[in-house]
Amino acid sequence: MKNKIPKELSPHKQARLALIQFDIAGPFPTSLCRNHYFLLIIDNYSRKNWVIPLKQKSDADKELRKWIIWAENQTGEKLKAA
């Protein structure tokens, strides 16, 4: 098999919140606030990252929804794709 990893980054979208990518990582050793996981969110336009600590993996949906509302209020734009 041949590894075909692209040498270029994907093209930037033309507006904030046009596309976000997210991932959950963990479990990690327990932090001081008893978190075991984190949610990583990346905006494709600006390539800005947000890291949200999570106590359980199941908290990701609730935290992602809260982040979307916060981001839409901050930018004045609606999320188009995730």
Task: With 0.85 as the threshold, say if the pTM is over it.
Answer: no
Q: Is 82 within the bounds of a domain? A: no
Cα distances (angstroms) measured from residue 65 to each of 10, 62, 76:
25, 5, 16
Report the CATH number at residue 43: 3.30.420.10
Question: Tens digits of per-residue pLDDT, 14-65?
Answer: 888 999 999 999 999 998 999 999 999 999 998 899 999 999 999 999 999 9
Q: Rounded to an integer, what distance in angstroms lies between the CA atom of residue 18 and that of residue 79?
A: 6
Quote the number of domains for the chain: 1
Residue-level pLDDT at 6: 72
Residue-level pLDDT at 48: 92
Per-residue DSSP letter, 68:
H
pLDDT band of residue 78 (cuts 50, 70, 90) is: very high
Domain extent, residue 41, equals 21-75
